[in-house]
Structure 1
Amino acid sequence: MDDEPSILSALRRLFRPEGYRVLLAESATAALALLETEPVDLVVSDMRMPVMDGAQFLEQVRRRWPELVRILLTGYADIGATIAAINRGEIHRYIAKPWEDQDLLLVVREGLTRRRLEQENRHLQRLTAAQNEQLQSANAELERRVLARTQEIAQINGFLEQAYAELEQQFLLSLDVFAGLLELREGGSAGHSRRVALLARRTAERLGLDPPTCQDVFSAGLLHEIGKIGLPDALLRKPVSTMNGEEQARYRQHNLNAEAALLALPRLQRAARFVRWQDERIDGRGLPDGLAGDELPRAAQALSLAVHYHGLLSGRLAAKRLGPTEAAAVIKQGAGLRYEPAVVAAFQQVLAEAPPEVESDWLIAAAELRPGMVLARDLLSPQGTLLLAAGFCFDAHKVRQIHEFIERGGVRLNLHVRRPPPTAATEAAHESAHPAR
């Protein structure tokens, strides 16, 4: 911008060969109007202008178009105005008149380069900001998907754990039922195997054995007589002490037969070994392998002790049945011979800490059974076989089965169920139905 047409023409001639698009204005007003309508990158203004001088004009440009490059043409006598332009218009460069063409071209070229770099920088900043926003959005979406997938996997794992727990419960219940079926033979004692299994497991727990081992001891206790399935009833009716040599040799094979029957089931591999070793002794005089000392695991000793103790109580080992105190004394005599002293000590602690009947359980008739109730103790048939294990939660289908069972069999069946969390309504309803319990 300049008010002298000759200077404007000189500037046009100077810049046109450079390929620049040049817009000319003879006043600040005209220049501002051009800037309103035309895209411009750089402004060159003379200092001495009527109405509005160059400093004032460039101040207006800075305020309204701060990104434009601003250059001032000024004479040597206008140093004060030049300082004002620098301070108020924040000009990028000033050129003294008369100018050197190459100097002016260089300044303009540098200004336009700066303008282009600033534009590219702003473009890159906008692009970076947009990409960062997209990345944040993508990260948020990824986090949402990961969270959703994690929750889905956790839910699946929960279902699997529940299914596994139910499968494990059904597996153990199957062992319990099978043990009960073996006890239906002539001379069998209902619940014997489960009593052995419970005592063996509690002894193993008292010894500090890990839960999987304790569970294997329990399974071995339930199945410790499975090898007797092929023995005649007449032999099983005899106490072991009254058998002759041939009968005892045949009878002692039941441990090996039981192991052979169980080895096909991977879940029962260790339980099968414990069953095999139920007649072993730590002094090496046991059967069938003559294990001695540390060769005989404490888990197997816990099973052997429980079998021995309940065998003395039931008359399976000797013609005379012993009472609990006498049988416990016999077990104690075996410390250091049949069993490690620590195993016998754990057994004695288990007997001393035998839990009393749970007073908080409710005893109800089978006809009072409702869905949602949880079995507090094992449910046995009138013959002593296990129907359902403690901890079973009744649903409508199982309740209907129990009701049909007692109706078809014409039997009376009572169950111990867990007392629900107390509420005024449940307590009042139960007390009114069972005032004497």
Structure 2
Amino acid sequence: MTEDACGVQPETPATLLLVDDEASILSSLRRLFRSEGYRILTAESGAKGLEILEQEKVDLIISDMRMPEMDGAAFLGKVKERWPRIVRILLTGYADITSTIAAINQGEIYRYIAKPWDDTDIILNVRQALEQNRLKAENERLQALTEKQNHELRQLNEGLEALVEQRTGELRQTVSFLELAQQNLKKSYLNTVKVFSGLLEMRNKNLSGHSRRVADHARKLAIRAGLNESDVQDVVFAALLHDIGKMALPDRLLEKPFYNLTMEDQAEVMKHSVKGEMALMAIEQLQTPAKLIRAHHERFDGNGYPDRLAGFGIPMGARILAIANEFDALQAGTLQNKKLSEAEARAWLVEGKGKRYDPALVDLFNETKSAIAETREPEIAIKSYQLRPGLVLARDLVSGEGYLLLARGHALTDSLIEQIRQFEKSEGASLTIYVRPPTGAKEKTS
């Protein structure tokens, strides 16, 4: 297989096996599907078809029902037993209804098509069958990854170190913290989401802290908009993971502001919201956030992507996420070729009311600075040498580069404290750690 000029491997065409004892029908089907770009194999009998399947990888079979020695029902039944993942389509005459029922029962066919067929109809059926099979295989792959999540996280130290060693030295220093997050997965799902949201940021320092800031803005706006607790949580999860689809993008597309990219590169970046949804769709707890991620680049006027939704047809959480995301991106300089001040970013939002953004939500967002008094829990700022088991983090613990090490709410243990001190030693820098005051202790500020 060769690569194109951009280094991307072209997709291998699907292979079709056509089985019929009539040479004229095979010839007609071959001409029809070869023009669609498929790889075509043919067999004049079920036995010949089985011989080919022993030698070739086949994605879809179209078999005639009436054939000597082995009819279509028997042939597809054998295929189902030995190669169950191959899509099976039966060609049948109207007089063959009894045999067709047998084929459905024995071979579990995807669809039967009556002769004479309509070219457009049979082409569409094959396309749909192959796409459905591809999505099923992808869903099974994602489900398998989800089921092995605990095992993979236990091995994350060496696994992630090998995977991203060429891209970042920082990840090798923080991977032990990710392993510790796995041990608390059942008690704090949010902690794990935060960890994964930071993986992309480790590839590009321009994105450092972006997801957490977007999540904070989105949470405040969602509360201000009257969303219930469950919906607010979905918005926060979506905000933390909204850029996960960019993991598939090359570094060169992450290093420039979006509006400085070529049209072709912009089109490639614009695929990340759909890729993000696909990456999360198999995880039950993230199905709603996945839908918000897909829609967070839709515009209120209908000119967004990927589905060109408009107005209140865009989910509320996605409309909130769009505002929070671009507000931070404007100040970080990842959207335009210059960084805007907070006031300039708010003015940009106002200018986009009714076009890019929901006007009512923009008004609510710009009220949050003065209208929402953030309720902060009591906290004490200390150094690592003052840590002791039982203390609970009052803020996320982040590195000097802005990468998440431990999430707020973690209870410190001897092992965690030692990890923090080892991290400081390897970085040559001292961390300021915010913890909740022990019961009965007087709150201090630092």
Choose from 231, 245, 256 the match for 2:249.
231
CA contact (8 A) 1:381 1:387 kept: yes
Partner residue, 1:331: 349
Verify: 1:351 aligned to 2:369, yes or no: yes
Partner residue, 1:175: 193
CA contact (8 A) 1:177 1:385 kept: no
Partner Cα distance (2:276, 2:437) in 1? 40
Verify: 1:290 aligned to 2:319, yes or no: no
Partner residue, 2:268: 250
Shift of the 237–262 alpha-carbon distance from structure 1 to 2, 3 Å rule, reads same
Partner residue, 2:22: none
Partner Cα distance (1:312, 1:357) in 2? 27
Partner Cα distance (2:357, 2:204) in 1? 32
Shift of the 319–168 alpha-carbon distance from structure 1 to 2, 3 Å rule, reads farther
Verify: 1:306 aligned to 2:324, yes or no: yes
Q: Secondary structure at the match of 2:405?
A: strand
Partner Cα distance (2:234, 2:304) in 1? 21
What are the Cα deviations for residues 43-82 of structure 1, in whole angstroms up to 9, with x where unaligned? xxxxxxxxxxxxxxxxxxxxxxxxxxxxxxxxxxxxxxxx
Partner residue, 2:401: 383
CA contact (8 A) 2:206 2:334 kept: no
TM-score by length of 1: 0.56
Verify: 1:211 aligned to 2:223, yes or no: no
What are the Cα deviations for residues 209-249 of structure 1, in whole angstroms up to 9, with x where unaligned? 11111111111111111111121211211111111211111
Partner Cα distance (1:405, 1:187) in 2? 19
Partner Cα distance (2:300, 2:262) in 1? 25
CA contact (8 A) 1:298 1:343 kept: no
Shift of the 349–421 alpha-carbon distance from structure 1 to 2, 3 Å rule, reads farther
Q: Secondary structure at the match of 2:203?
A: coil
CA contact (8 A) 2:243 2:276 kept: yes
CA contact (8 A) 2:377 2:394 kept: no
Partner Cα distance (2:371, 2:406) in 1? 25
CA contact (8 A) 1:379 1:387 kept: yes
5 Å-filtered alignment, 1:113-124, equals none
**1:216 alignment partner AA:** D
CA contact (8 A) 2:185 2:191 kept: no
Shift of the 175–296 alpha-carbon distance from structure 1 to 2, 3 Å rule, reads same
Q: Secondary structure at the match of 2:206?
A: coil
CA RMSD of aligned residues (A): 2.4
Partner residue, 1:394: 412
Verify: 1:318 aligned to 2:340, yes or no: no
**2:415 alignment partner AA:** H
CA contact (8 A) 2:390 2:413 kept: yes
Partner residue, 2:281: 263
CA contact (8 A) 1:406 1:413 kept: yes
Partner Cα distance (1:354, 1:369) in 2? 32
Shift of the 238–404 alpha-carbon distance from structure 1 to 2, 3 Å rule, reads closer
Q: Secondary structure at the match of 2:381?
A: strand
Shift of the 168–338 alpha-carbon distance from structure 1 to 2, 3 Å rule, reads farther
CA contact (8 A) 1:182 1:188 kept: no
Shift of the 378–355 alpha-carbon distance from structure 1 to 2, 3 Å rule, reads farther
Q: Secondary structure at the match of 2:202?
A: coil
Unaligned runs of 5+ in 2: 1-183
Partner Cα distance (1:303, 1:289) in 2? 16
What are the Cα deviations for residues 377-431 of structure 1, in whole angstroms up to 9, with x where unaligned? 1100222111111222223333333334334544312201122344xxx55xx98
5 Å-filtered alignment, 1:37-116, equals none
Q: Secondary structure at the match of 2:216?
A: helix
Q: How many pairs are equivalent?
A: 264
After TM superposition, give the deviation of residue 304 of structure 1 in Å: 0.7
Bigger helix share: 1
**2:333 alignment partner AA:** G
**1:348 alignment partner AA:** N
Percent identity (aligned): 41
After TM superposition, give the deviation of residue 353 of structure 1 in Å: 4.5
Q: Secondary structure at the match of 1:416?
A: strand
Tell me which moved more, 316-325 or 374-383: 374-383
Partner Cα distance (2:303, 2:214) in 1? 23
Shift of the 321–396 alpha-carbon distance from structure 1 to 2, 3 Å rule, reads same
After TM superposition, give the deviation of residue 276 of structure 1 in Å: 0.7
Partner residue, 2:360: 342
5 Å-filtered alignment, 1:5-16, equals none
CA contact (8 A) 2:323 2:349 kept: yes
What are the Cα deviations for residues 268-304 of structure 1, in whole angstroms up to 9, with x where unaligned? 1111111111110121111111111221121111111
Partner Cα distance (2:287, 2:324) in 1? 20
Partner residue, 2:291: 273
**2:402 alignment partner AA:** G
CA contact (8 A) 1:187 1:236 kept: no
Partner Cα distance (2:425, 2:372) in 1? 35
TM-score by length of 2: 0.55
Tell me which moved more, 183-192 or 297-306: 183-192
**1:362 alignment partner AA:** I
